Structure formats: structure tokens, C-alpha cells
Structure 1
Amino acid sequence: MADKNRSRVTVEIYGQTYTVVGTETSGHVRYVASLVDERMREISKHNRHLDSKKIAVLTAVNSVHDFLKLEAKVKQLEEELENLKG
């Protein structure tokens, strides 16, 4: 059974066209794609010898690294909030 809330959005990332299927708004998907594109172009600018596959992997590694740092910060802030409450 198809999910009626799913939509298709066509985006361009680092010169390639992708169709993203999901439940987020098209604006959100386009925003995420623009951030990925921006990050890939920034990495490429500083590493001109890398091919697009390596740039994509470095983008993923950097993004997960940033996510883990933010996740740790959220945990720390939640713990501080609990300490203030208790």
C-alpha cells in the first residue's frame, strides 16, 4: 500500500540530479539538498584533486561528525536541565 503522504522532489547536488522520495515538505528536501551541495563544494574547493565520490564520502563523514557533536551537546544540556530541576 502506497503512503499518500509521500512526495517526490527533484534536486541537484554537486551537478547531479536526484529524485528524493519522502514525507518531508519539498522545501525541506530542497534545503537539505542545498546544504549538502554547499558542503560538497566547500570540500572540493579545498581539495581540488578529489573526485566526486571521495568528496561525497568526506561530506558524509563531516556531517556525521557534526551530528555526533550536537547529539553530545544536547545530552549535556538535558542533564544540566535535569540538575536544575532536581
Structure 2
Amino acid sequence: MSVQRKNRVSVEIFGQTYNIVGTESAGLMRFVAATVDDQMRVIKRANPSLDSAKLAVLTACNAVNDYLKLKNQVEILETELKNLKDEVNG
């Protein structure tokens, strides 16, 4: 069993500093944090009265919604690819 090295990175999301630990690259973790920060700021501009907790929950809901849409698209494409392979292999 291989042990993956964990990276630690300090990021700022919506004015708060977080220390993130993961096996992904530091650059990817920073990119994810910047994306979350950007999305929170977009939602805050549209809904200035939201507190940070509600803002974070809405951001998470949007992210999960996007993930589920993409997952569904991947499943559809995988099915189409399988069907095409079956047609070719006859």
C-alpha cells in the first residue's frame, strides 16, 4: 500500500484563513479555495443580507448541484461510448 504525501496550504476564503491538508497539489487546493471565494462573493453581491453561514451553505448547494449535473453528463457519455463500442465490435 502506497502512502500519499499530504500537502498543507493556508488559504483565504471570504475573509477567513483556513489551513487545508490534502493529497492534491498545493496549487489545486489554492485554485479550489479561490473558486469558492469567488462564488461566495458572487452570491453575496446578489444577496447582500446573507450572513456568512447561509452564504457558505448556498455556495455548497450550488457546488453540489454543479457536480451532480456533471456526473449525470459523464454517465450519459459513458453509456453512449459503450453503445458505440458495442456497435463497432458487433
Give the TM-score band, short-chain normalised.
Answer: over 0.9
Cα deviation per residue 1:51-75 (whole Å; 9 max; x = unaligned)?
A: 0110000000010000000000000
The Cα shift of 1:83 comes to 0.7
**Structure 1 unmatched runs, 5+:** none
* Equivalent residue, structure 2, for 1:29: 29
The residue number in structure 2 matching 1:75 is 75
1:10-65 deviations in Å (ceiling 9; x for gaps): 00000000000111111000000000000000000000000011000000001000
* Unmatched runs of 5 consecutive residues or more in structure 2: none
Q: Does structure 1 residue 44 correspond to structure 2 residue 44?
A: yes
Structure 1 residue 4 displacement after superposition: 6.6
Identical residues among aligned pairs (%): 55
Please report the TM-score for the alignment, with normalisation by the length of structure 1: 0.94
Distance in 2 separating the partners of 1:81 and 1:46: 40
1-structure distance, mates of 2:83, 2:24: 35
Which stretches of structure 1, 4 residues or more, deviate above 2 A after TM superposition? none
Classify 1:72/1:14 alpha carbon distance in 2 versus 1 (closer, same or farther; 3 Å): same
